[in-house]
Amino acid sequence: MNGILKIFPCPVRNYLSIENAESNNSYTIIDIMGNLIHQGKIGRSLRIDCTSLNPGYYTIMLEKNDCYLTNRFIKI
């Protein structure tokens, strides 16, 4: 995993795709207020289901081997 975390589409409606990740990477989604919204592991599809998120601004943190990469996204 290099130092760039690419996510798309942005804004997202249903599924967030992640580039430069692996299927066993852990992720955390945090809302704009800093509240933990969701944690999990990225599956083989390298997509995260965002259908249950309320519209708004979020930060995703991807972790692998004690390295954290972050990016922001909008849920519509």
For 52-75, what is each residue's pLDDT tens digit?
Answer: 999 999 999 998 778 888 999 999
| Overall domain count for the chain | 1
List the domain range (segments joined by +) for residue 40: 6-75
Domain annotation covers residue 51: yes
* The model scores a pTM over 0.85: yes
Q: Is 1 inside any structural domain?
A: no
Tell me, yes or no, whether 46 lies in a domain.
yes
DSSP conformation letters of 14-67 = SEEEEES--TT-EEEEEETTS-EEEEEE--TT-EEE-TTSPSEEEEEEEEETTE
Q: What is the CATH number of the domain that holds 51?
A: 2.60.40.3080
In a domain, 48, yes or no: yes
Question: How does pLDDT run across 17-56, given as a tens digit for each residue?
Answer: 998 888 889 999 999 999 999 999 999 999 999 999 999 9
